[in-house]
Structure 1
């Protein structure tokens, strides 16, 4: 049950004064459906209104003038504006009104009337103008014009000033809540109370009050992070209380390992040991294995699958694309089959009798390992005894999809894999409810990729080099950048590059892009993997996840447009065979300082975790787009970059609270329960699940 004290904040936005049937949908779109969402809508800037005269007016600034209306100038046609000419004793100021309401403004402000007008001043020829003044009031109503004014987000039909009025009414409804923060921590940080922090948020005195570093913003961010960390810690605790099959390490897996043509790295052994510890514990596992492209995550998962098979259970590995599923199947099926463990590949392409036979073998327990795409959790797919689910590139699947696969078994152990290294400072925001293993070593035999930056002016040299290596039988990727917000424009740029490369290199140049269907992409990728395509041109909307050991060159056009982690991921697609490989970063000079640092770190190291940490430092205070693409939670106040120092503290605090008071019955526990309801971060909030 939601605490009664929060009822005013959970009321619909239409309960705010002035929010009728026309305004409610606009406000909901801008902020959200309840009063709390309007309360949490922060201003984005501050306007300081300075008193001025026409003679001293500064073009482009927001200023306030005391004037007398001198003349009404009616529009000559429907496209013309109404103009009210005003005089302040030092010169003339023209108030300009576009649209059909200029006449009513003129009625309310007759010639000879004294007025205070405030707004942004512009110059039109020799004339000083104020288009659509923010305020035009009688002198006795001077108090209505604030010297400082917070500017809120706006939308068509809902101006910023109206939004400000709603936000301040929502603030009036905010209750005084019992403090949930530790008093000593609060004092050490110098933070205000929750209510005071909100008051300061909506009454900024300077731009500094809107920054993530402001004390009241850090307070609100920490509240939000604590609510989230607590929900994830509760979820982890609940899961650990859930019994699951005990699966022991088996000699069968030793046989699979012994037959491998390489030895496991220490990092792989450590990850496997942690997985086996979970499987043998009798509690349901939820673990993430993080590791760079090519660090050997799939092999670790395969050995755990062998343990499961030895105990009579089944495993499923789900990948986001058919080409990746096929790649995993080729990696797993041979070594497992050599020890008598049967594996099957199940994708959307399976039809008819072949599909029916695979489903029968899975349901009957004849097959111990299923590898596939979303097809694995379709209703007609039944397992005999599913005990272990492995999700590859887990951020590409929604929570519901993962749960549907796990639901095919009883208390199914979950192992998620991610090839996108996340800095330790951000791990908790994404994976706070998972146990995390890191594979931070590369297997022996992987050739380092020589990385060099080349200006776009030398692109013909790069094309000539490509022509030579393709003639020798090698293959290459050519990645085209995001040049516009329009996929069609990006596609044209990629098509143009592919056509130019065909002209210079020959007909074996292929193209893959985001407008293709999944089957079309898979077909092109398969041709590339089979060696039918020499150079693959791809737009960045495509996940180039195919393993092509013969691909030795990665060309990234306009590399300065890419994030550091993205560049590293793309580079990881080459250097998978024994041949020397290279990555060419084509850039448009001059480079910004940040872009220069990005390219420098790539040349110096291929350690994905070090690159992720550097990426975090270079991004600084908020590449929101990068966050969304990385699957970060939808925070209101917290910025995972700017507030990264608070994330680990919030995680520690959450675990301490639960260790002392698992049921949240103490006074602080009850206050924290209100905090969770306030931010809607609860252990059973699947829609806000980040891990």
Structure 2
């Protein structure tokens, strides 16, 4: 490993100047270079003949030069070099633009390997701007070519030369990190071979095997690291042992509804955490409308009745206000003082609340990120809850944690995440899932239709409004854009409010409005001063308007399935039959398949799994805010199958050796320390 930690400038062919360019790509050591993987590959390994290659496709050809080079000058500052050749199928020309200097490179009768795009003009076949090699040592044709990320002053050919030099001199110093039993069990390529083949694969099969091996290893290192952090925090984070509170049973009996079995199970897990003198760090996932807020209320009740304060943070003022209204009503009979803290309060009111919070006169504070500002002090914070965790980063959660002496942390989200991914995205949290909806909730009728149905949809909306209901109409854009043919919220609002629904009250809501404007519009909708709300996805999170029973989504093909499911959850919250109408402008098979999934399922977890399958890689769910280490080759979404295998193996390893003290895990352990080095060297327990 010492050899691999040498400065990159000492690799043959690098030197100080190239080293400074490589540094811009975050390549500082030989180890960094070996793990600087290609972003894609160009397959030049498959040979064809000129007449058998489809026009417009690239091909590798074995050819013989059959005539002298000719230079044409169709106009000033432009030259075309043409070199006639033949292969086993027929004749053609090698063609280069503005590369006249190549004309003396070719001799009649000379045999070459070339690779380029096949073109046909009239009856003449051409190979456009080809790369060529005259002997096997050139190694430009007949293989899979790695394409690397680059920076100014550094070409792909230069990186290839440097990489070859590094592999020739330093590959032998790479240590195998996986134990032999794991390599054999999963039929993984040896690490040295994997690194060699990820850069210069001898064939497609070896490239796939190399990728699989390196993805497996990287995900294993990540998952083990997260498990170790979780174990360490579990053992080291002394927390509050809350008192047993007999009144909790009375509180549950007094609720205007019965808890579902799923809610009872999740609350038991929270109770068990609160019984222990160790800090709770728990994620509660529950589909839209599954009743997460009441679980938070039960935890807050026990916290306050044990003599501590509780805080609940929501991402928007309207959602914080909604929580405050529902929770203060629940707690009013139980002598629990609940207050709301948001950015729009007057300075005088804020100062008064902050003083009471510090003195312990407030039991529960509910608010936005205003709760984590520096000047806020608690008397004795015992429980901190964040709602819709994906709207907050890890840092905000950490700040909230520092407001007390290791308060219990409860994180709630209605964004369904498959458990496999949740173990990574929330690797430091225990996970509880509410997987059952309260009885009596009506299924939301979901229809996917084309734009030809708009008139019928508008008539249906009108009929429902005349019966006293309200409707959401969601668009993907705020302003009209000439470059993208999509419905914009502003354009649609203008049309609907002035023509189609001119006899009704129509409002507009979008993300570019300031928080006060947004809250005013939402409040109007909530109070039924608006019949229709035209909006972007800012209404995706949490707001409860029981009287609204129609959700129409324009350009539904532009949204992820999980996001559409969240939007659908804004209706169906009252006694009325609710409807979600997805206006699909997409013509392709995947767009239709995605709409079909939403029509046939109301289970957010099933929908999110399907979303991953159909969308593949991409930001299904932002990962940077989770503070995860950057991955070099694995993708949490497209490599979910490997991730599932890795998690089983990681759990087995942790059962046998939770601190990886065994010599068989020595290299794995050092890789974990390296991956999580930003957290400090005391990551692994000794």
Map of 1:666-677 to 2, 5 A cutoff?
Answer: 666-677=662-673
Shift of 1:596: 3.9
C-alpha distance in structure 1 between counterparts of 2:137 and 2:479, whole Å: 47
1:457 matched to 2:452: yes
Match of 2:95 in 1: 95
Map of 1:209-288 to 2, 5 A cutoff?
Answer: 209-210=206-207, 214-241=208-235, 242-288=237-283
Shift of 1:358: 0.8
> CA 1:584–1:32 in 2, change beyond 3 Å: closer, same or farther?
farther
> CA 1:169–1:307 in 2, change beyond 3 Å: closer, same or farther?
farther
C-alpha distance in structure 2 between counterparts of 1:570 and 1:14, whole Å: 56
Map of 1:113-262 to 2, 5 A cutoff?
Answer: 116=112, 118-123=114-119, 125-126=121-122, 128-135=125-132, 139=134, 143-154=138-149, 158-172=154-168, 173-174=170-171, 176-207=173-204, 209-210=206-207, 214-241=208-235, 242-262=237-257
List alignment gaps of at least 5 residues for structure 1. none
C-alpha distance in structure 1 between counterparts of 2:47 and 2:238, whole Å: 71
Shift of 1:542: 5.9
| Range that drifts further, 408-417 or 325-334 | 325-334
> CA 1:492–1:478 in 2, change beyond 3 Å: closer, same or farther?
closer
Match of 1:664 in 2: 660
C-alpha distance in structure 2 between counterparts of 1:528 and 1:437, whole Å: 33
C-alpha distance in structure 2 between counterparts of 1:381 and 1:500, whole Å: 46
Shift of 1:485: 13
Contact 1:560 1:595 survives alignment (8 Å):
yes
Contact 1:575 1:581 survives alignment (8 Å):
yes
1:530 matched to 2:533: no
Shift of 1:122: 4.0
Shift of 1:113: 11
Match of 1:389 in 2: 384
> CA 1:401–1:375 in 2, change beyond 3 Å: closer, same or farther?
same
Shift of 1:585: 2.0
Map of 1:604-643 to 2, 5 A cutoff?
Answer: 604-619=600-615, 622-628=616-622, 634-643=630-639
1:485-513 per-residue CA deviation (whole Å, 9 max, x = no partner) reads 97995886332222222211125222223
Shift of 1:287: 0.5
List alignment gaps of at least 5 residues for structure 2. none
- Structure 1 SS opposite 2:410: strand
Map of 1:531-610 to 2, 5 A cutoff?
Answer: 531-540=528-537, 543-588=540-585, 590=587, 592=589, 594-610=590-606
Match of 2:285 in 1: 290
Return the match for 1:405 from 382, 400, 405.
400
Shift of 1:14: 9.6
1:72 matched to 2:71: yes
| Range that drifts further, 341-350 or 126-135 | 126-135
Shift of 1:274: 0.6
1:291-328 per-residue CA deviation (whole Å, 9 max, x = no partner) reads 01111111111111111111211111111222221121
Shift of 1:545: 3.2
C-alpha distance in structure 2 between counterparts of 1:346 and 1:16, whole Å: 62
Shift of 1:554: 0.8
1:359-385 per-residue CA deviation (whole Å, 9 max, x = no partner) reads 101111111111111111111011111
Shift of 1:676: 1.6
C-alpha distance in structure 2 between counterparts of 1:275 and 1:487, whole Å: 52
- RMSD of aligned residue pairs (Cα, Å): 3.5
1:44 matched to 2:40: yes
1:425-466 per-residue CA deviation (whole Å, 9 max, x = no partner) reads 333222232111111111234222122232321110001111
Match of 1:379 in 2: 374
Match of 1:7 in 2: 5
Shift of 1:670: 1.6
1:242-301 per-residue CA deviation (whole Å, 9 max, x = no partner) reads 211101341343443333211211111111111111111101111000101111111111
C-alpha distance in structure 1 between counterparts of 2:49 and 2:644, whole Å: 54
Match of 2:317 in 1: 322
Shift of 1:396: 1.9
Q: TM-score, normalised by structure 2?
A: 0.87
| Range that drifts further, 152-161 or 449-458 | 152-161
Q: TM-score, normalised by structure 1?
A: 0.86
1:306 matched to 2:304: no
Match of 2:650 in 1: 654
User: How many residues are treated as equivalent by the alignment?
Assistant: 667
- Structure 1 SS opposite 2:231: helix
- Structure 1 SS opposite 2:620: helix
